[in-house]
Structure 1
Amino acid sequence: MIGRISHIWRAAALAVLPFLAAPGAFAQTAAQPMVGAPTPWGMGLQASGGPIKDAISDFNTLVFWIIVGITIFVGLLLAWVLWRYSAARNPTPSQTSHNTALEIAWTVIPVLILIVIAVPSFRLIYYQDRARDAEFTVTVTGHQWYWNYRLPDHGNFAFDSRPVYEEDLRPGQLRNLEVDEPLVIPVGATVRVLTQGVDVIHSFFVPSLGVQKYTIPGRTLETWMRADRPGTYYGQCNQICGVNHWFMPIQIRAVPREEFEAWVASARTRFAHTIPGNEAPALAEGAADTIRIAAARE
C-alpha cells in the first residue's frame, strides 16, 4: 500500500511540475521559428525570446512564490484562530494588548519581504534601462496611430509601420497584430531602442522580448532588446492614446544576420526618399538629437 501511495504522489508531482515551472518554459521548446504572441486561454507570461524577458520571468517567479507563501501562512493562521478562539473553546476572551514581540515581528518580517523583492526589482529596472555594447540603434517614434522606425546606423532610412486590416489578412496572420512593414533585427544582436513621441504619449510594448517604454513628445527615452531566437515577436501600444488606439500593433522579425543585411539593402532602396540628401522630408522632430545621443553613448 505504501509503495502504491508513493507511486501516486510521484505521478501527481510529475503532472503538476509543468505548471510550477517558469511561465512560458514549455512554449520556448516549440518548433522554430518562435512566435511571441498571445495564445487562446494562455496563462502566465508569454514565452521568452531574449535575456530581458528571461530576467522578467525569473523576477515574476520569485514574487509569485513569495505571494504563495504569504497566502498559505495567512490562510493557516486564520483557520487556527477560528478554531482556537471560537466562542466554544474560548468563552472568556483575553484582554491582553500591546504584545511587544508580536508587534516587532509583524513590522520587521514585512520589511524583510519588501527588501527581498526590492533588490532584484531595482536590478531589473537598471538592466532594462541602458544598452551595453549595442550593435546598432533603432529610433521608434509614436504617432496617432502608427509607428515610425528609423535606423541611423544603416543609412538613416525610416519607414512607417501600420496595421493590416482584417479583410486583408492572409491565412496564418494574426488579427490586430500584423503590420505592413515589420521591424527586422538580427538574431543575437543587442539593439539600442530610442523612443520619442510626436503628438501624445504612446507605449512601445513587446512582451516576449521584455520591452516596454513610453514614447513622450519632447523627450527621448532609451531601452534595448535582444532576440536570441529567430521568429516573429508581436506587441501593441498599451497606453490609451486615442480613439484609434488599436491601430498601433508592433511586429518585430528576428532573422539570421545575412537575411537582416539583405533586408537593410532592400529597405534602403524602398525607403530612399527618407534618407537625408535624397530630397527627403525633414527628420521627425528630435530625430537628429536622438542620433547624436546614440553616438555619444557608444
Structure 2
Amino acid sequence: MVNVSARAMAIRLCAVGLVIWAGAAAAAGTGAPEPWQIAMQTPVTEVARDIHWFHTLLMWIITIITVFVAGLLGYCIWRFNEKTNPTPSKTSHNTTIEVLWTVVPVLILVMIAVPSFRLLRKQLIIPPADITIKTTGHSWYWEYEYAGDKDGKGGFKFDANLVEEKDLKPGQLRLLATDNDVVVPVNKIVRLQVTAADVIHAFAVPSFGIKIDAMPGRMNETWFKAEREGVYHGQCSELCGQRHAYMPITVKVVSEAAYAAWLAEAQKKFASTDAPAGASRLADAAVR
C-alpha cells in the first residue's frame, strides 16, 4: 500500500510539473514576462531563436561539466580520505591527465566559439532595411523617429511614456504599457538606430533578441524581423537613474495593410510645425 501511494504521489508531482512548464511555455508567447515563467520569452525573430538555441547548448555544456566535476570531487573524497587511504600517494605529475585537462577545455571553447561567432555576425551585419526607426533614450522615456521614404511616408517622431497604473486600460500591462506604441509590419526588416540624449540607456526587447546600449553622442544600430503579429514589450536595461524602471518599450507587429493605415494616421497625429529635427537637436545640444 505504501509503494502504491508513493508511486501515485510521484505521478501527481510529475503532472504538476508538466502543467507548470506547459503553462509557462504557452504564456511566454505574449511578448511579456509571466508569473512563474521559467524560460525565456518565445522568440519571434531568427536571431532570437538562435540566441535561445545557443543558450540551451551552453546550459547542457555547463550541466555536464558541473555533474562531472561534482562526481570527481565526490569520488576523491570517498577514495582518498584518511580512513580509506591512510598512506597518501606522493605522485606530483601525471602527463596524461595534464594533457587532457588542457586539451579538453580548449576543444569545448572551440565548440562554443563557432556558433557564438556565427550569431554575432548575424546580429552585427544589418541586411537592407525596409524601415528605419531612430530611438533616443531620455530620462525617463523613449523618443521614436520614423525616417521618411521616397514616397513621403514617415518623417515624423513621437515620445512614448509609461502609462501610470491608475490610467491603465483593459489589456495593458503594469510598468510595460506606453501611451504611444512603436508599430511595425510583420516580416519586414526594421533597422534601429539607437542613441541617448542625456545618460546611458539600453534598448531591449527579449522576444526580438535585441539589446543595445543607447549612448549620448553615439549612434548604435541593430535590427529585427518579426515573424509573428502581436504586442511585444521591453524595458530600458541600463541603470539610468531614479525612474529607470519606468521607461518601457511596446512594439506592435501588425499586417502590412494595418501598418499602412497606422502610418497615414500617425503622419497626421504626430505632424510637427516646429523647427526641423536637425535644428531642434542642435538647440537641445546647446542647452545641454
Relative to the length of structure 2, the TM-score reads 0.85
Q: Distance in 1 between matches of 2:23 and 2:113?
A: 24
Q: Distance in 1 between matches of 2:265 and 2:67?
A: 58
Matches within 5 A, 1:203-218: 203-218=202-217
- 1:17-66: CA deviations, max 9, x gaps? 979x9x999438x8xxx520011111121111211110110000000000
Structure 1 stretches lacking a partner, 5+ long: 1-7, 287-298
Q: Distance in 2 between matches of 1:165 and 1:194?
A: 27
Contact 1:131 1:191 in 2 (8 A): no
| 1:85 corresponds to which of 62, 65, 80 | 80
Structure 1 partner of 2:5: none
Compare 132-141 and 173-182 and name the one that shifted more.
132-141
1:176 deviates by 0.4
Structure 1 partner of 2:55: 60
User: Counterpart of 1:224 in 2: which secondary structure?
Assistant: strand
1:88 deviates by 2.4
Relative to the length of structure 1, the TM-score reads 0.82
* CA RMSD after TM alignment: 2.6
Structure 2 stretches lacking a partner, 5+ long: 1-7, 283-288
Letter in 2 for 1:90: N
Letter in 1 for 2:239: I
Q: Distance in 1 between matches of 2:104 and 2:176?
A: 45
Q: Distance in 1 between matches of 2:139 and 2:124?
A: 25
Structure 1 partner of 2:136: 141
Compare 114-123 and 143-152 and name the one that shifted more.
114-123
Q: Distance in 2 between matches of 1:107 and 1:17?
A: 40
Contact 1:56 1:210 in 2 (8 A): yes
1:155 deviates by 2.8
Distance change >3 Å, CA 256–CA 167, structure 1 → 2: same
Letter in 2 for 1:92: T
Q: Distance in 2 between matches of 1:217 and 1:164?
A: 25
Paired residues, number: 266
Contact 1:130 1:222 in 2 (8 A): no
User: Counterpart of 1:272 in 2: which secondary structure?
Assistant: coil
- 1:217-254: CA deviations, max 9, x gaps? 11111110111111110000010111111221000000
Structure 2 partner of 1:188: 187
Structure 1 partner of 2:93: 98
Q: Distance in 1 between matches of 2:198 and 2:99?
A: 51
Q: Distance in 1 between matches of 2:47 and 2:95?
A: 44
Percent sequence identity over matched residues?
46
Contact 1:24 1:44 in 2 (8 A): no
User: Counterpart of 2:184 in 1: which secondary structure?
Assistant: strand
User: Is 1:74–2:69 an aligned residue pair?
Assistant: yes
